[in-house]
Structure 1
Amino acid sequence: MGIFITIIVVLILIYFFAGLRIVPQNYVGLIETLGKYSRTVKAGLVFIWPIFQRVRKVSLALQPLEISKYSIITKDNAEITTSLTLNYLVTDAFRYFYNNTDSVESMVQLIRGHLRDIIGRMELNEALGSTSEINAELSKAIGDLTDVYGIRVVRVNVDELLPSPEIQKAMDKQLTADREKTAAIAKAEGEARNIELTTKAKNNALVATAKANAEAVRTQADADAYRIDKLQNALDKAGEGYFRNQSLDTFNQLANGANNLVVLDKDDMSDLGKIPAAKKIWDKSNN
């Protein structure tokens, strides 16, 4: 009898210890009795009835998730490929585990649908340049919609938006053409500027030369005027004897010449008549 009781006690202890479960930190436990949810337990040591009950552990920690690349059509019918990353956490373990066969996949489909709607209302160039705006609008759009799955999205980010290879080639060609156009315009503007500066420099040189010539002519004219003025002043101050001496010098030079012609001033001609010999020659010449 004592052995039987001991066996029973041992079996009870084994059963008791077999029913002990540990729910880790930042987890909750969903207790199921005969396959039906009965209660939720927090982290720590938990007792369940083995065989009749089981514990499903659900993490409450922040979970990273990468959504693989998929295609979206923009408003102007351009195909782009996008990929996302997000962080989520479970806020309601019961909804997360029992209300959906795969709550995470349902959340991903919801986010994809909203992203298609947002980008589908944008043209290609607008979408490629509005990643921050798309992130903000997507976060606002999903809002609390994922609460139905017991999940809250903490952060969602569009990692890349890539046009299709055909569109990328067309964009590269357009970019090359724009660069060549910009370079041609810059070259033309540079040449025009160079011509403008060269013409301006030549004009400035011509103006400077003209000013220099005018200044030289003015200086020469001033010098001539000064010389004439001084000469005139000197002649005005000269006596009658100076001019008579000049006349005699001139007569001597003419007399020494090869011609027998003598030029005399009118007054000198009158005075020459006073010389007797000259007067006889003059009268004889008139007769």
Structure 2
Amino acid sequence: MMGIIFAILVVLILVYVVCGFRIVPQNNEGLVETLGKYSKTVKAGFVFIWPLFQRIRKVPLALQPLEISKYSIITKDNAEITTSLTLNYLVTDSYRYFYNNTDSVESMVQLIRGHLRDIIGRMDLNAALGSTKEINDQLFTATGDLTDIYGIRVVRVNVDELLPSPEIQKAMDKQLTADREKTAAIAKAEGEARTIEMTTKAKNDALVATAKAQAEAVKTQADADAYRVNKLQEALSNAGEGYFRNQSLDSFNQLAQGPNNLIVVGKDEMTDLGKVPVIKKVWDQSGDNAE
């Protein structure tokens, strides 16, 4: 009978001891409590606790993502925007994480929300919509040290979106459309002004070119007339008196053959009359040469 009781006790002791072995997974720490009070922290691996008197709480140390759902924020100019963000955090002190706060993650979320409201609340709507990177940097700096009291370190925080309210979005769309129409109207007016400027310049250039061509033609004609006059004077200077007398007789013969054969001239002018056909002949020849 005693042997049976001893065997039962041995079996119970073995079961008790076996039940005391625990495994703490990789990237975890174990918080050992004795009679409900913290006693020690154990690393990942094979550990032993006293069943019924002790228990172990496993705390993950790996990097964990978290998405904070959309919520509203009021900007400096009283515009309502909806924001959502994501972050990555890890537990740096398992004791603080588990015992200093009933829900350290929720406390961290509330802290980040409060700082984000403060940052955006000091910015106008347009500044906030265009400063996502600056907001991320300020938020990361503001929350980095404060979350240490929860045994948590925020590794990355990112504002995923900043959306104005539907009413503000409609107003912004109208303003954007008006700005685009204004830009298009300005571009059209500038194009028309440029076209008028180019057309006017082309007309002015054509007028200048025409005036230059006309001036050149007048100069050429004047040069030709001057050349013919010089030739005429040269020919008259080289002709003898006998030649002019012969021409005068020919002129009188031509007049006599015409219907109007009466002409009165002085005796001194009779010889000059012979110069008329000579002048005409020389003038015509000089004109041909000038051309």
Q: 2: CA distance between counterparts of 1:170 and 1:260?
A: 105
**Residue type at the aligned position of 1:177:** A
The runs of 5 or more residues in structure 2 that have no matched partner are 272-291
**Residue type at the aligned position of 2:135:** I
What is the deviation of 1:268?
Answer: 6.6
CA contact (8 A) 1:255 1:262 kept: no
SS of the residue 1:101 aligns to: coil
What is the deviation of 1:220?
Answer: 1.0
**Residue type at the aligned position of 2:56:** V
SS of the residue 1:72 aligns to: strand
* Counterpart residue number, 1:249: 250
User: TM-score, normalising length from structure 2?
Assistant: 0.90
SS of the residue 2:134 aligns to: helix
CA contact (8 A) 1:70 1:82 kept: yes
Q: Does 1:81 pair with 2:74?
A: no
* Counterpart residue number, 1:99: 100
Q: 2: CA distance between counterparts of 1:268 and 1:79?
A: 115
Q: 2: CA distance between counterparts of 1:221 and 1:92?
A: 109
**Residue type at the aligned position of 1:26:** N
Alignment: residue pair count: 270
Q: 1: CA distance between counterparts of 2:260 and 2:31?
A: 154
User: TM-score, normalising length from structure 1?
Assistant: 0.91
* Counterpart residue number, 1:237: 238
Aligned-CA RMSD value: 1.4
Distance 1:260 1:114, change over 3 A: closer
**Residue type at the aligned position of 2:78:** N
CA contact (8 A) 2:84 2:161 kept: yes
Task: After TM superposition, list the pairs within 5 Å mapping 1:1-287 onto structure 2.
Answer: 1-259=2-260, 261-267=262-268
Distance 1:106 1:156, change over 3 A: same
SS of the residue 1:32 aligns to: strand
What is the deviation of 1:10?
Answer: 1.4
Q: 1: CA distance between counterparts of 2:63 and 2:102?
A: 20
* Counterpart residue number, 1:281: none
Q: 1: CA distance between counterparts of 2:69 and 2:202?
A: 65
State, as a whole percentage, how many aligned pairs show the same letter: 83
**Residue type at the aligned position of 2:93:** D
SS of the residue 2:102 aligns to: coil
SS of the residue 2:50 aligns to: coil
CA contact (8 A) 2:248 2:270 kept: no
Q: 1: CA distance between counterparts of 2:145 and 2:267?
A: 134
**Residue type at the aligned position of 2:125:** L
* Counterpart residue number, 1:278: none
Distance 1:224 1:14, change over 3 A: same
CA contact (8 A) 2:63 2:90 kept: yes
Q: 2: CA distance between counterparts of 1:227 and 1:108?
A: 108
